[in-house]
Chains A and B, each alone.
Chain A
Amino acid sequence: MTRVLGYRLFQALLVALTVGVLTFIMIRALPGDMAYRIAAGRYGYDMVNTDAANAVRTELGLDQGGTTALGQWFSDLVRFDLGVSVVSGEAVIDEVRHQLGHTVELALAAVLLSLLIGPPLGILAGLRPGGVIDRGLLLVSSTLRALPHFVVGLLLIIVLATGMGVLPAAGHGEPQNLILPALTLALGLAAVSSRVARDAMAGVAGSPYYAFGRTKGLSDAQVLRRHGLRNVSVPIVTYLGVQFIYLIEGVVVVETLFAWPGIGHALVHAIFARDVPVIQGTALVMGLMFVLLNALVDLACYLIDPRRQAA
């Protein structure tokens, strides 16, 4: 286990390095004059002129070489300083912390909701492969997975918010504001995790040890509880680690759609304004979160599966 966690730590270092360099290069490679974009971010598009842009350029030293700027960012990073937003002048760490809280809230709600929807349906389907539930679930999950987040989100808004009026379409602050964005993400996650659970359950239910459990005299519920759930949960939990990528990608779209003040939302705005420190800081924190979550997945698998403890 120590070895696995050590590996994750090493991975975290690599992520910091890669994310820092890549975001920096990509932002520099974007077309347009950075100084104009930053000035627009600060003063609004109507107020930008060459003087304002030049003032920004001089202030931020944008003419200096890329290597120097990147080197500066890394040396600050070692001191756990993510720098200052070139647009708002606030410390990046404060912006990220503020927005990350909202995002974590949304992501956590989405994952929990998806776990309540996906695996139970998948297990039901997997117990009777080819049955009504199985075929219905295949149709629904393929459709949901094929639709982009914003379409699913919009459909939910149209049906539940504008149509039936039971939930607010967008906003933040009230608990019910969380439901639609979380559900949008959760449906996408559950579409896949239900398939993973279904295949795992079908495999386990068809295994010799499952059949042996039955002929030993256990009831269906007992076999499922004793020999089904643990064996099925290992692939489901492992797959969660992969799903976090989907989640991070989804957060950006869903936060924008539902006007949720999270980190994904902030990232999009920072890119428009070429706010390099914020982009680097945000991407870094997201990358590190990804590593942390995968470490948690490892830990969960370790606790569930005695084979890993024995190894």
Chain B
Amino acid sequence: MTALLVADGVRVFARERIVEPASLSLHPGRPFTILGETGSGKSLLAQAIMGTLPKGLRAEGSVTIAGQRLSLAVGQGHRSLWGRVISVLPQEPWLALDPTMRAREQVAEGYGFVRGLSVADAARRAQVDLANLGLADASGKLPSQLSGGMAQRVAFAAARAGGARIVIADEPTKGLDVARRDDVIALLLREVAEGGGLLTITHDLALARRMGGDLAVMLDGVIIEQGPAEEVLGDPQHAYTRRLIEADPAHWPDGQPRKAAGAPMLVAEGVGKSRGGQRLFSGLNLAVHPGEIIGVTGPSGCGKSTFGDILLRLLPPDEGNVRRAGGQPAIKFQKLYQDPPSAFPHRITLRRAILDLVKLHGLDAARIEPLMARLRLAPALLDRLPAEVSGGELQRFALLRVLLLDPVFLFADEPTSRLDLITQQEMIELLVELARERTCAVLIVSHDAELIRKVSDREIRFTGKKDLDQVEPKAA
């Protein structure tokens, strides 16, 4: 079997070497996946192979694409292959589509400019491609009128229109829920089944498992393990790979669900809400007892977050009511946000952000230090800006900020969806441990059903569009 693409000793340099020599070969009909955390260098490796490294970085080594050997140190020759032989399915397809151009035109470009078809032929071919992906109606739409999943399919059609049979997919499932993730995987695997080449970059272990084929695991710029995906994941040799697999919620130890005790301190009765003319849910009842952990799952857009915000009384319900029982003030009902960087002011240090909170509510500043130690946050981090700490650290600061207020109820809205697996496990463990310690009830929302199953005392499931009215409280 001849390889479609061979990378030989590819390395990337900033001031020093940041990606160690990496070699891999991509065969037709066999997916290749590079798995690694944020900052592991997996995207840089892919960019070096593709010839799209950002300014200030340079690569060495060589890449052979469709029989053509390119020296990366010279850094030329990629351009003529782009679109024709190799192309990229970009991260965040919504941003990768021209916001002022209609979907069909963005696909037709590949046929018109790269393959040299006439305008009419290019438009016809683009329409056929879109129809094949179930997007016949979307061809006249602008990216802002497409859903995330549709935008991804348009981007996929656009990436391939120039004739490229090798696709580099950069985090293709980032930010997608399970149902849409499965769609993307099916789309990519279909391409592979037709004999195309696919190099996927991901931090998502489940995606790597589903893709099959060959797998390389990257850590700190080094490929630490490489081989058939089944072997690597089934019998990991490297300690890090084992740790990564253990951090998958499916492998977490089962939690010990507790029975709800005491009188409920937060009661929702017959709560309903519509958004944009569409009924999200109605008639929801929920009683939250002190210290219990309630998990919420469901597809994106079903109103999980809205429900949490209604419980916090950040949003008014259209019908029904929410009562805080037991005379607790509003400040004891807190929220942990999904995206830590947008939950902190960008231009002031963490120390100031937290001291401002202490001052505003007349808290005891002496509590900060022991709590930071508990959250495994080094004191030196306080003098940094939010952008200068890692996503996991920042989310722990967000937890610190909330815990200083001694909440009795915490709504954690997808608190780890932007974090890597191992960081996610650490974060969730800390959250559960501290909530148990302080008898703080937690409503945790996640798209990851396994995670919810492992941590919660009971579950609420929003079950897709048709049964939006249904909520199933379920004893764990």
Contact code string A226-259 (vs B, CB < 8 Å = 1, else 0): 1100110010000000000000000000000000
Cβ B155 vs Cβ A306 within 8 A? no
CB distance from B455 to the nearest CB of A (A): 35
B100 at the interface (CB under 8 A from A): yes
Cβ B145 vs Cβ A310 within 8 A? yes
Contact code string A196-227 (vs B, CB < 8 Å = 1, else 0): 00000000000111011111111100100011
B158 at the interface (CB under 8 A from A): yes
Residues of A within 8 A of B435 (CB): none
Cβ A218 vs Cβ B155 within 8 A? no
CB distance from B312 to the nearest CB of A (A): 32
Cβ B155 vs Cβ A307 within 8 A? no
Interface residues of B in 207-242 (CB under 8 A from A): none
User: Which residue, of A212, A227, A307, has the highest number of chain B Cβ atoms within 10 A?
Assistant: A212
Interface residues of B in 55-84 (CB under 8 A from A): 82-84
Contact code string A278-311 (vs B, CB < 8 Å = 1, else 0): 0000000000000000000000000001110010
Cβ A230 vs Cβ B100 within 8 A? yes
Residues of A within 8 A of B82 (CB): 214-217
Residues of A within 8 A of B99 (CB): 209, 231, 307
B91 at the interface (CB under 8 A from A): yes
Cβ A218 vs Cβ B113 within 8 A? yes
Alpha-carbon distance A305/B142, docked complex (angstroms): 11
**Residue ID in chain B nearest A225 by CB atoms:** B113
Residues of A within 8 A of B436 (CB): none
Residues of A within 8 A of B98 (CB): 209, 213, 226-227, 231
CB contact between B90 and one of A211, A217, A222 (< 8 Å): that residue: A211
Residues of A within 8 A of B142 (CB): 306-307, 310
Cβ B155 vs Cβ A212 within 8 A? yes
Given A217-B162, A307-B142, A307-B144, A212-B97 contact (CB < 8 Å): yes
Contact code string A73-99 (vs B, CB < 8 Å = 1, else 0): 000000000000000000000000000
B110 at the interface (CB under 8 A from A): yes
Contact code string B102-126 (vs A, CB < 8 Å = 1, else 0): 1000000110011000000000000
Residues of B within 8 A of A230 (CB): 100-101
Cβ B90 vs Cβ A226 within 8 A? no
Alpha-carbon distance A227/B100, docked complex (angstroms): 8
B4 at the interface (CB under 8 A from A): no
Residues of A within 8 A of B161 (CB): 216
Cβ A209 vs Cβ B97 within 8 A? yes
Cβ A212 vs Cβ B88 within 8 A? yes
Residues of A within 8 A of B141 (CB): 310
Cβ B95 vs Cβ A208 within 8 A? yes
Size class of the B contact interface (CB-based, 8 Å): 20 to 34
Given A207-B95, A307-B144, A215-B83 contact (CB < 8 Å): yes
Residues of B within 8 A of A208 (CB): 90-92, 95-96
**Residue ID in chain A nearest B78 by CB atoms:** A215
Cβ A211 vs Cβ B52 within 8 A? yes
User: Which residue, of B83, B84, B141, has the highest number of chain A Cβ atoms within 10 A?
Assistant: B83
Alpha-carbon distance A288/B72, docked complex (angstroms): 61
Cβ A222 vs Cβ B52 within 8 A? no
**Residue ID in chain B nearest A204 by CB atoms:** B98
CB contact between B100 and one of A215, A219, A306 (< 8 Å): that residue: A306
Cβ A209 vs Cβ B113 within 8 A? no
CB distance from B451 to the nearest CB of A (A): 30
B50 at the interface (CB under 8 A from A): yes
Alpha-carbon distance A228/B322, docked complex (angstroms): 51
Given A212-B96, A216-B109, A216-B110, A306-B87 contact (CB < 8 Å): no
Residues of B within 8 A of A219 (CB): 113
Residues of B within 8 A of A218 (CB): 83, 109, 113-114
Residues of B within 8 A of A222 (CB): 109, 113
User: Which residue, of A218, A234, A305, has the highest number of chain B Cβ atoms within 10 A?
Assistant: A218
Chain B residues engaging chain A, CB cutoff 8 angstroms = 50, 52, 82-84, 87-88, 90-92, 95-102, 109-110, 113-114, 141-142, 144-145, 155, 158-159, 161-162, 164
13 A-B residue pairs with Cβ-Cβ distance under 8 Å, sorted by A, are A208-B91, A209-B96, A212-B88, A213-B109, A217-B84, A217-B87, A226-B101, A231-B100, A234-B100, A306-B100, A307-B100, A307-B142, A310-B142
**Besides the known contacts A208-B91, A231-B98, 13 further A-B residue pairs in the complex with CB atoms under 8 A apart:** A212-B96, A215-B52, A215-B83, A216-B110, A216-B158, A222-B113, A226-B113, A227-B101, A230-B100, A305-B100, A306-B101, A310-B141, A310-B144
Query: When A and B form their complex, which 3 residue pairs have the shortest distance between CB atoms, in order from nearest?
Result: A217-B83, A217-B114, A217-B162
